[in-house]
């Protein structure tokens, strides 16, 4: 019975791999994602692909925020036109109060207030945009954690089920052999033989001899079963992973990283802070077996002795489109900026900041694209591309509306009396 006891113990052990109470808590929590996660998860269920769900979500989000974007651009161009109309008055103010800077600033503020000029009119949409950016960052990272944990859960179940089934085959084999030996009478013959020798030592039957020999094969049998389980889990991963176009696993960066992290520690390191609290609940031996099964399938793009998850296309695109989007926005407002710089030193400082941001923002986008989940890089690419298209489409419309606005600027006399 020793062999079957060993098999039973092994089966009981693997049945508990990765499914402790803490791990069960993770799986229950990931079913309750953040608001963004809930929306993307709903689209994922609808379209069936995580990448296309993110693309669709980005398009919907940009359409919803389009009126706010339009208002921001309209306000900025309206202010630019007003500033050009105020130019003669501002010049007279500069001349009249050249020796009294405080008075000059007071008069300028009165002039701005009178004509409804507000330098901060474009700030609210910008604040909303930045808020959406960071909400999407957190939400998509949480979504990726959800997808990765879900896939890991399915891989764990598939591996342990396959391993249990392989071990059960050997259990059934030796149960059957024992039954045949007992019916054949070989057990009795061996017992009689040992009694004739004087009954020395432990009584042995033909079945006991079979079990004794088989017990020495426990390690070999387990290795064979694990090899089958690794093969099965590797093949299952090819279907279970969330790929998108050229990216093997869109929940991982579109870079040189592997689609499935090498160790349980690295895997939990990719999760959000909420899920990293459960890192001790991952069985390292089970995780290692699953990783081997995936590696044996050669998943991803082989570069040297590594398999890349992606080709770095999304990070590079996010950098290029971020630069292009900022460049187009600055170019379309170049005339306005030149006029404002002549009249307001604050506008000159703002324009200088815009030039700096034209190079800083692409770097920031690159960091996000190379380090974090490919879903966020995909969001940045789609968002930047839509922003460029909307800018090119809206500018002619806004220009026509601005041209129709009649000037209400009066030209009072600011001469000293």
The continuous run of DSSP H or E covering 65 comes out as: none
Structural domain including 391 reads 65-121+314-404
Domain co-membership, 163 together with 287: yes
Mean pLDDT of the 330-338 span:
59
Residue 34 has a pLDDT of 66
Is 320 part of any domain?
Answer: yes
Specify the number of domains making up the chain: 2
Q: Are 15 and 164 in contact (CB under 8 A)?
A: yes
Beta bridge partners of 234: none
Q: Are 392 and 328 in contact (CB under 8 A)?
A: yes
Q: Are 233 and 291 in contact (CB under 8 A)?
A: no
Gyration radius (Cα) of the chain, Å: 35
Domain co-membership, 334 together with 371: yes
User: With 80 as the cut, is the pLDDT of residue 334 above it?
Assistant: no
155 closest CA partner among 54, 246, 260, 257: 260
Residue 327 has a pLDDT of 79
pLDDT (tens digit per residue) in 276-328: 666 666 777 888 888 888 888 777 787 777 888 888 899 999 888 888 887 78
Query: In degrees rounded to 5, what are phi and psi of residue 11?
Result: -65, -40
Is 347 part of any domain?
Answer: yes
pLDDT (tens digit per residue) in 152-199: 888 888 888 888 887 777 665 555 554 444 444 444 444 444 444 444
- Cα separation of 149 and 240, whole Å? 12
pLDDT (tens digit per residue) in 233-266: 888 888 878 888 888 888 888 888 888 887 777 7
The continuous run of DSSP H or E covering 308 comes out as: strand 306-308
Is 39 part of any domain?
Answer: no
Q: Are 293 and 237 in contact (CB under 8 A)?
A: yes
pLDDT (tens digit per residue) in 78-136: 777 777 777 777 778 777 777 777 877 777 777 777 766 666 665 666 777 778 888 88
The highest-confidence range among 35-39, 43-47, 288-292, by mean pLDDT, is 288-292
Domain co-membership, 369 together with 394: yes
Give the 3-state secondary structure of residue 276: helix
Residue 19 has a pLDDT of 45
All residues at 6 or more sequence positions from 73 whose CB lies less than 8 Å from its CB, including other chains: 391, 394, 395, 398
Mean pLDDT of the 381-396 span:
87
Sign of CA dihedral 124, 125, 126, 128: positive
pLDDT (tens digit per residue) in 204-243: 555 555 555 555 556 677 778 888 888 888 888 888 788 8
Domain co-membership, 81 together with 205: no
All residues at 6 or more sequence positions from 385 whose CB lies less than 8 Å from its CB, including other chains: 321
Q: What is the 3-state secondary structure of 73-134? A: HHHHHHHHHHHHHHHHHHHHHHHHCCCCHHHHHHHHHHHHHHHCCCCCCCHHHHHHHHHHHH
Which class for 282: exposed (0-12), middle (13-18), buried (19 or more C-beta within 10 A)?
A: buried
- Cα separation of 25 and 27, whole Å? 5
Residue 18 has a pLDDT of 43
Is 129 part of any domain?
Answer: no
- Cα separation of 155 and 287, whole Å? 9
Domain co-membership, 110 together with 144: no
User: With 50 as the cut, is the pLDDT of residue 15 above it?
Assistant: no
Residue 255 has a pLDDT of 86
- Cα separation of 110 and 104, whole Å? 10
Residue for token pair 């999407």: 136
The highest-confidence range among 347-361, 378-392, 397-411, by mean pLDDT, is 378-392
- Indicate the average pLDDT of the chain: 71
147 closest CA partner among 19, 75, 35, 243: 243
Is 72 part of any domain?
Answer: yes
The highest-confidence range among 46-50, 212-216, 353-357, by mean pLDDT, is 46-50
Mean pLDDT of the 349-371 span:
72
Domain co-membership, 326 together with 352: yes
Quote the tokens at residue 227: 């090899």
Domain co-membership, 283 together with 225: yes
Mean pLDDT of the 341-361 span:
59
The highest-confidence range among 9-18, 188-197, 346-355, by mean pLDDT, is 346-355
Domain co-membership, 180 together with 286: yes
What are all long-range contacts of 124-127, with beta carbons under 8 Å and residues at least 24 apart?
A: 124/72, 125/68, 125/69, 125/71, 125/72, 126/72
Residue 309 has a pLDDT of 86
Residue 38 has a pLDDT of 73
């Amino acid at each position: 019975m020793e062999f079957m006891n060993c098999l039973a113990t092994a089966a009981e052990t693997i049945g508990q791999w990765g499914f402790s109470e803490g791990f069960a808590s993770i799986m229950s929590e990931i079913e309750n994602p953040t608001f963004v996660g809930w929306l993307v998860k709903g689209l994922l269920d609808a379209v069936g692909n995580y990448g296309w769900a993110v693309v669709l979500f980005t398009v919907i989000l940009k359409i919803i925020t389009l009126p706010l974007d339009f208002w921001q651009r309209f306000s900025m161009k309206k202010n630019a036109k007003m500033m050009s109309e105020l130019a003669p008055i501002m010049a007279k103010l500069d001349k009249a109060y050249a020796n009294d800077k405080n008075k000059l600033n007071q008069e300028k503020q009165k002039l701005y207030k009178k004509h409804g000029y507000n330098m901060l009119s474009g700030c609210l949409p910008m604040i909303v945009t930045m808020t959406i950016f960071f909400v999407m960052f957190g939400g998509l990272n949480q979504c990726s954690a959800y997808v990765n944990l879900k896939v890991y859960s399915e891989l764990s179940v598939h591996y342990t089920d396959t391993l249990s089934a392989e071990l059960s085959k050997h259990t059934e084999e030796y149960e059957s052999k024992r039954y045949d030996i007992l019916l054949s009478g070989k057990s009795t013959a061996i017992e009689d033989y040992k009694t004739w020798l004087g009954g020395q030592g432990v009584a042995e039957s033909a079945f006991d001899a079979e079990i004794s020999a088989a017990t020495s094969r426990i390690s070999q049998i387990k290795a064979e079963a694990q090899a089958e389980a690794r093969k099965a889990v590797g093949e299952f991963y090819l279907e279970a992973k969330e790929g998108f176009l050229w990216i093997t696993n869109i929940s991982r960066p579109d870079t040189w990283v592997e689609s499935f992290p090498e160790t349980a520690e690295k895997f939990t390191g990719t999760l959000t802070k909420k899920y990293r609290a459960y890192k001790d609940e991952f069985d390292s031996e089970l995780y290692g077996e699953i990783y081997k099964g995936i590696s044996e399938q050669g998943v991803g793009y082989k570069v040297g002795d590594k398999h890349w998850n992606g080709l770095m296309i999304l990070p590079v695109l996010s950098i290029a489109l971020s630069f292009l989007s900022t460049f187009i926005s600055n170019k379309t407002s170049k005339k306005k900026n030149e006029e404002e710089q002549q009249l307001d030193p604050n506008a000159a400082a703002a324009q200088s900041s815009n030039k700096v941001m034209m190079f800083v923002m692409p770097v920031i986008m690159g960091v996000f694209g190379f380090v974090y989940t490919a879903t966020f890089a995909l969001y940045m690419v789609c968002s930047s591309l839509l922003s460029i298209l909307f800018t090119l489409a809206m500018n002619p419309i806004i220009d026509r509306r601005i041209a129709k606005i009649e000037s209400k600027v009066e030209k009072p006399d600011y001469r000293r009396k």
